[in-house]
Amino acid sequence: MQILVNIDVDDLQRAAAFYGAAFGLTRGRRLGPDVVELLGGSSPLYLLRKSAGTVPAPRTAQRRDYRRHWTPVHLDFVVADIQAAVQQALAAGATLEQPVTGFAWGHLATFADPFGHGFCLVQFTESGYDAIAG
């Protein structure tokens, strides 16, 4: 099974520029006027243009809002050098929400992208999650 990552944004050009600058992703295909494919990660990332205020699903009262919001699903970007990756994400326009914090398995910093979506940067130690696995 392949997993595809889709992110709703209100501005495709701005989103492609952010994800390219923050994570080194490159543009793949343009899938019609409202979808841009980004490549370079372990899975393709698709940016989907969806206007603010639109309904994400039938019979849903909630509307799209690109201010900072919480969702139970977010992306983790695994990096080799978390300090450099933090600076790269900030320079691209991310908002740092929690600075680099150390754990037995590695380091983590949390952010929001310019569209209100949360994401994390993760740098694993050599043992990674095995350091805490039971």
pLDDT of residue 8: 97
Residue 113 is part of a domain; what is its CATH number?
3.10.180.10
Edge to edge, the sheet with strand 26-30 lists 5-9, 45-49, 35-39, 26-30
pLDDT digits (tens, 9 = 90+) for 121-134: 999 999 999 999 98
Full residue range of the structural domain in which residue 97 is found: 67-134
Categorize the per-residue pLDDT at 91 as very low, low, confident or very high, splitting at 50, 70 and 90: very high
Whether residue 86 sits in one domain with residue 40: no
**What does the DSSP 8-state code read for residue 88?**
H
What are the backbone dihedrals phi and psi of residue 11, each rounded to the nearest 5 degrees, phi first? Answer: -145, 100
Chain center to CA of 52: 18
Q: Over the chain, what is the mean pLDDT? A: 96
56-94 b/e with 16+ CB inside 10 Å = b? eeeeeeeebebeeeeeeeeeebebeebeebbebbeebeb
Number of domain units in the chain: 2
Give me the amino acid identity at 105: W
Q: HSE of 22 in the Cβ direction (CA atoms, 13 Å)?
A: 25
Whether residue 84 sits in one domain with residue 46: no
pLDDT digits (tens, 9 = 90+) for 9-66: 999 999 999 999 999 999 999 999 999 999 999 999 999 999 999 998 899 889 999 9
User: Does pTM top 0.75 for this prediction?
Assistant: yes
